[in-house]
Structure 1
Amino acid sequence: MIDASGLEVVPTGPSEQPRVLTPHAKELRMLLRRAGVSVTTEEIRQDPIRWTRWVALAYNAVVLLKGPTSYVVAPNGANLVVCHAAAQLATAGSGDVLTGILGYMLSDSSLTGVHGLETVSNTRLMELTACAAVIHGQLGRVTAAQGTVSASRLIDQLPAVMKEFGF
């Protein structure tokens, strides 16, 4: 899983390990530019699946385009749309909390179904990434209902929300 400044150095092309990239629109634009595609953030907002797929292909990765609606796209074009975000999540550190949730899910072999040296399929990466985005959206709503949303307040509420989802 690669997020934030790690996106600035991730190489294009094939990878020996499956990877999930988690950019927001401006970071997606930067990834596209590094892959030789010039596009504006407005063009990304108008056709997010198209441009997220470009990145998924160029970097051979599952890509989560974060935003009010999140898009999870695999290199083969398969995609999931997550309309479960909370507007209050547009705050510093919120994406780091999402990355932590996703990191937990990807590291748990009972969730990935992978043991030993097996590789997690892109389909399973997509499912877990979408699930993390849904949990993150619920976390934002729960936290907002109790006051101001900040990364530390999200983390405080995380155990209760994870429990809602059976974790």
Structure 2
Amino acid sequence: MNKLIVAAMLSLGGAAFSCFAHGTHQHTQAPADAEVSSTLKVSGCWIRSLPAPAPSAGYFIIENSGKTDAKLQSAASATYGMVMLHQTTHKDGMSRMSETHDVAIPAQGRLEFKPGGYHAMLEQPHAAPAIGSQVAIDFFFDTGEKAMAQCEVKPANTQAH
């Protein structure tokens, strides 16, 4: 079991353990009164399953059919005590994961959150969601709107949706 956790964290760029263990991140409060967007949609959402209390990661595609750019600012889920937006970067053969804010989604465009790039870091699970189950996540934008998604929980060794 411990080998599975370590392998899954390494597949998140190795920095997942560092961020989780040291608590060097901030948590932003999700707006309670956000309206559901008619132009910002989240699809293909899935979560890499890891046993609690290990952090996990969520991946998805955001599409913006609007006429102006939008920025994803935060996310929240009743299943996890904390959801943060992270980006994995690669430089000189090393991977580094860092928290990010204001991820731009271009007008009439899309952005994919995928392993090795942008992802939602899911921490403090209330219980480990079962493989095959669905987890609701709300995504909040600088427009004051939100998009909602049901995310399928997949095995830890899943590489793409």
Per the normalisation by structure 1, the TM-score is 0.24
- Which structure's residues are more often strand, by fraction? 2
- Which structure's residues are more often helix, by fraction? 1
